[in-house]
Structure 1
Amino acid sequence: MVLLTARLVYTLHLAVCTLGGTAYGVLAADTAGAHRPFRVAIIGAGIGGCSSAYYLKHPDGHGDQDGRAAEPSLPIDITVYDASPKGPGGRVQSRSFPVAAQDSGDDNKEDDPLLDVDLGASIFIRDNQHVYNLAQHFNLSLTRRPMSDGRLAGTSALWNGHEFIWTLDSRPWYDPTMWWQRLRLGWRYGFRTVGQMQTLVRKFVEDFGQVYDASMPRWRSIHELAERLNMTALLRQTARDFFVNDAGLNAVFVDEIVNAATRVNYGIDVDQIHALAGLVSLAPTVSDTMAIEGGNQLLVRELCTRSEARAYYGQRVVSLQPSLHINGAEECMRLVEQAKARSPVDQPSTLHQSIPHGCRPGWTVTTQDGHQATYEAVILAAPLDHAKFHNDSYALDVAPVHYKRLHVTIVRGHLNKGYFGLDDAASIPTSIMTHGEGKPSFISLTQLAVSPPLPYRISHAPPTIDTDTSTPVWVKLFSNSQLGSDVLTRLFHYHDADTARHDLFRSYPLMTPENARSDRRTEIAPGVWYVNGMEPFISTMETETVSAANVVRLVRDWAKRVLQQTAG
């Protein structure tokens, strides 16, 4: 079992790389209106929004292989809105940086290849059936070694802010030195610990796989889903409590290895994050880890493009309001209000079953430039904490969620061995995870690739660097706060400040037991569904597509009902 520790460390290395007072608007149907498509607005063009658009257009999913029968075609018109002018992607963002050609020392920048770096979601696993199968269906190339440059050593290490707790290199398992390193890790953590951990994670992955079953009913809240998967208890305790007290894993292993995994995946320590997210962080230890060549953002773009949705990029939605005065809707509104009075307040979906014949629900979306359009359904696919639109005439049934603020820094330069207490003969590990006890200045550090020669300013290059022989590298850092010049100056002998890139992501919810306590409804107002409500439960690319598929099934159920009633 000790041999498995290397896989665990390697996969961690890759991971581095309530309805109240609702005013419900309707549209009066006319002769033409009875035959027009069911109109859906999607707010947000990240992977959740683009998956929703794709599944609305292709209800069989193409990427799903769960045995569900093909859905009948419905006349649905789809419009996607996103505040970013850069197009689809959301928190799945990829950027390209020049790297040094491997077969030439030529300084000609035009000849330098590009390195595609995922700033947000970097990896997924083979068991992520939606993302993996969609990528295959779209003929996107996959790699099992994302952001890998063969010229770098491939070593991994755990840093506590003062010293390396351990270092493990990538030499073959049969190398005698590797046997000794693994023996030391087994001695430190227990020879059976990794196997015990993997047994727990495999069971979790298998249990979660129920969401792909054709027999899985639609779920209308996250607590309902958690109960079906028998995972409610995992949301109510910390990962450390679960692994140490319930599962009996070695406490040092949990505090160092599992903690490194939760920090590198979610920026939260193992004694704060809930147990379900802790298991998600370890999923790469039992399934092949991969990414899309060219960046995972390519998948999001394909989803939006193939949905054939009308898209408004760079158009922030500023208002989402019920439509009350369109085409003589007052009479329909009166009838809907009567139906509403007969429907239980805590079961908004029952209102849809009482929509009067000839009436269609309506929600008006207004963007920052004044564009307005009315839709029968709205899918919110951006965290509501980030959406700053105006909605004063109804209450959305959404509990507040606090999101993690994660800073991503991409910079190239000559790393300083002295910062890590290494002598000149030592090599800086390629992937550095951290232990929070020593309060390190970053969460993780990954050397991505060899950089072309830097544009040295001789007056600023310290004499400790031999710029003719020292190798500059591209480095990706995750941190809780922006890394200022003071930190970078200590971390690097010399770095190229002009090409350094800083990005701030409100990347995922703080997945604590407290944050997961409130239930999140899928339908947060009549005719409005919320994809991101799943995030306090699990936040990954895959679970955004799973949530989108569930929301689309609910929207299609309602669309059938509305189209049948208006046609009648």
Structure 2
Amino acid sequence: MGWNLRWFLLGTILISVEAKSPSNIAVIGGGIGGASSAHYLRKLFGDDVSIDMYEPRKVGGRLATVKIGDEEFESGGSIIHAKNHYMVKFAEELGLKHRKTFPGHFALYNGQEFVFTESSWSLVTLAKLLWRYGWDCVWLNSLIGRTLTNFENIYTLQDAGNAYSSVEELLYAMGGAKFVNMTQTSTAQGLKEEGFSPRFINELAMAANRENYGQTVDVPFFVGAVSLAGAQPGLWSVEGGNKRVPEELVKAAKVNLIPGEVSKVTLKNSDDRPKFLLQYQLKDPNNNQILTEQKGYDIVIVATPLNEGMSNITFTNFPTPLPEIKGKFHRTVANFVRGKLNAEYFGISDPKAAPTGIMTINADVMFNSIGKHTPLNISKGYTPVGPESEDAVWKVFSQRPLADSEIAQLFTVVKDSQVVDWLAYPHYASPGHLETFVLYDGLYYVNGIEWAASAMEMSAIGGRNVALLSYNWWHGLDGKVDTGRTTKTEL
């Protein structure tokens, strides 16, 4: 055999070994972050790799619904911005429709009276906003527009196969030092430096943060900007519930769904690459006993929060301690009530004139916000009931479950009620801390991105990032990780 032929054959063998895909990948958690990870892992690695998803409850995670009477309502993440590229694209690819919206009007409440009430006439509302807040609302559109322009850089970067080892690196790639610095100052201070008035900060910005994150303008400015973007027009949700996005992503990715809860991830010695052994518990369907099983993987994606009170997963046999996961999650209570709003409690004489959304600007008020909701599935010819109806369904966000006596203050009639009490998003502080995406080579963490801001689109970005990290690591594409950064911000 000639030397040229031998080298050709050897090169062919080496290329074949290099291009080999991992045999199996585990995704721990079936929320939007885990579902996005699985979606992009399938696109990157192809159909030969086996993808197992561990989800002991329901796919969707914190995208969930609640049943009131015979109808379902959104209890988790409920709005999607028109410029949320991935969420928009997912819905289009999966054939999911936008849910019909109905007009309403909001008001800002300080615990004693409304300081601002939206009009059913847009020009009147604009005049009222200008009268109370000056040009701040116009400047807000400019601020959000500039922020979104930088934010959208991540889509081009990820399309090119770039991945980031930490949330800091990802934010820097999106918006440079500006975005990183926005995580280190409060919303109040950031808006002040941008020239916004104290009234705007303490009313509109406070109301947005109270409704979206159950917190105040002390949260980091980047979180506050995401919250304020949720006050823009063009917001939408998925017909049948936003949980349908992760549900359909998992199906389309041909994921093997395992209804088990992972308790341990063990690093196994290997001459070539790290291997991981997952230990998990699941119920035996025949006798309802808890079984402990284990399975090995080439790559593991953790797509569930590892923060205190959120996870019981332990990591063993690693040569050095894994990165510390800091911070706690914020308690949020959604009190669902089918009944008649007590208009008189809010100083309204005509119940028909009551706002359909009430946002609070005072942290001492017993609730964060009250909003009238429509069912997830709207039949043809559906007509929404007014705020004066005893059949209207309201979602009352609060820091704790409200007592019956407190519900009785807010509603004169209560036909049905449900309480969803959960840890919905991080408890933010300023300056903020930013997590890692890399726990170990081959072991990646989606939910670190929530400490920049918790939102469906952020989780989808995090999901794609860890899929790219996995792919680039497996194929030795180091030049595709943390590109373009020359200086580092000290946090």
TM-score between the two structures when normalised by the length of structure 1? 0.71
Superposition deviation, residue 548 in structure 1: 0.8
Pick from 219, 223, 244 the counterpart of residue 168 of structure 2: 223
Q: 1:201 to 1:551 in 2, by over 3 A?
A: same
Partner secondary structure for residue 317 of structure 1? strand
Superposition deviation, residue 323 in structure 1: 2.9
Which one-letter code corresponds to 1:160 in the other structure?
A: N
Q: Which has the larger radius of gyration?
A: 1
Partner secondary structure for residue 406 of structure 1? strand
Name whichever of 402-411 and 276-285 sits farther off: 276-285
Which one-letter code corresponds to 2:204 in the other structure?
A: I
Partner secondary structure for residue 311 of structure 2? coil
Partner secondary structure for residue 125 of structure 1? coil
Q: Which residue of 2 aligns with 1:383?
A: 305
Superposition deviation, residue 308 in structure 1: 0.8
**Per-residue Cα deviation, 1:235-279 (whole angstroms, up to 9, x for no partner):** 1111111111x1111220111011111111111111x11111111
Q: Which residue of 1 aligns with 2:64?
A: 93
1:236 paired with 2:189, answer: no
Equivalent-residue separation in structure 1 for 2:143 and 2:468 (angstroms): 31
Pick from 289, 295, 300 the counterpart of residue 373 of structure 1: 295
**Per-residue Cα deviation, 1:60-102 (whole angstroms, up to 9, x for no partner):** xxxxxxxxxxxx7473211000121xx201001123445xxxx
Partner secondary structure for residue 240 of structure 1? helix
Which one-letter code corresponds to 2:89 in the other structure?
A: N
Superposition deviation, residue 398 in structure 1: 3.1
Q: Which residue of 2 aligns with 1:157?
A: 107
Which one-letter code corresponds to 1:511 in the other structure?
A: Y
**Per-residue Cα deviation, 1:335-379 (whole angstroms, up to 9, x for no partner):** xxxxxxxxxxxxxxxxxxxxx4xx342211111221110111110
Report if aligned partners of 1:202, 1:286 keep a CA contact under 8 Å in 2.
no
Q: 1:424 to 1:540 in 2, by over 3 A?
A: closer
**Per-residue Cα deviation, 1:32-61 (whole angstroms, up to 9, x for no partner):** xx98952111110000011111111123xx
Aligned length: 429
**How much is the aligned-residue C-alpha RMSD, in angstroms?**
2.3
Partner secondary structure for residue 143 of structure 1? coil
Name whichever of 129-138 and 413-422 sits farther off: 413-422
1:248 paired with 2:198, answer: no
Report if aligned partners of 2:166, 2:436 keep a CA contact under 8 Å in 1.
yes
Superposition deviation, residue 226 in structure 1: 2.3
Q: Which residue of 1 aligns with 2:438?
A: 523
Q: Which residue of 2 aligns with 1:337?
A: none
State how 1:257-296 maps to structure 2 within 5 Å: 257-270=204-217, 272-285=218-231, 288-296=234-242
Superposition deviation, residue 287 in structure 1: 5.8
Report if aligned partners of 2:99, 2:240 keep a CA contact under 8 Å in 1.
no
Equivalent-residue separation in structure 2 for 1:133 and 1:424 (angstroms): 43
Q: Which residue of 1 aligns with 2:317?
A: 393
Superposition deviation, residue 559 in structure 1: 3.0
Partner secondary structure for residue 314 of structure 2? coil
Which one-letter code corresponds to 2:95 in the other structure?
A: N
Equivalent-residue separation in structure 1 for 2:350 and 2:230 (angstroms): 34
State how 1:127-146 maps to structure 2 within 5 Å: 127-143=83-99, 145=101
**Per-residue Cα deviation, 1:80-136 (whole angstroms, up to 9, x for no partner):** 00121xx201001123445xxxxxxxxxxxxxxx64421111011111111101101
Which one-letter code corresponds to 1:363 in the other structure?
A: F
Q: Which residue of 1 aligns with 2:400?
A: 481
Pick from 44, 50, 56 the counterpart of residue 83 of structure 1: 56
State how 1:45-60 maps to structure 2 within 5 Å: 45-59=30-44
State how 1:430-441 maps to structure 2 within 5 Å: 430-437=356-363, 439-441=364-366
Q: Which residue of 1 aligns with 2:487?
A: none
**Per-residue Cα deviation, 1:500-558 (whole angstroms, up to 9, x for no partner):** 111122111123223x23x4221112321000011111211011111111110111123
Q: Which residue of 2 aligns with 1:309?
A: 255
Superposition deviation, residue 218 in structure 1: 1.3
Q: 1:236 to 1:36 in 2, by over 3 A?
A: closer
Superposition deviation, residue 441 in structure 1: 1.0
Q: Which residue of 1 aligns with 2:335?
A: 409
Partner secondary structure for residue 158 of structure 1? strand
Q: Which residue of 2 aligns with 1:169?
A: 119
Which consecutive segments of 4 or more residues in structure 1 shift more than 4 A?
34-37
Which one-letter code corresponds to 2:395 in the other structure?
A: K
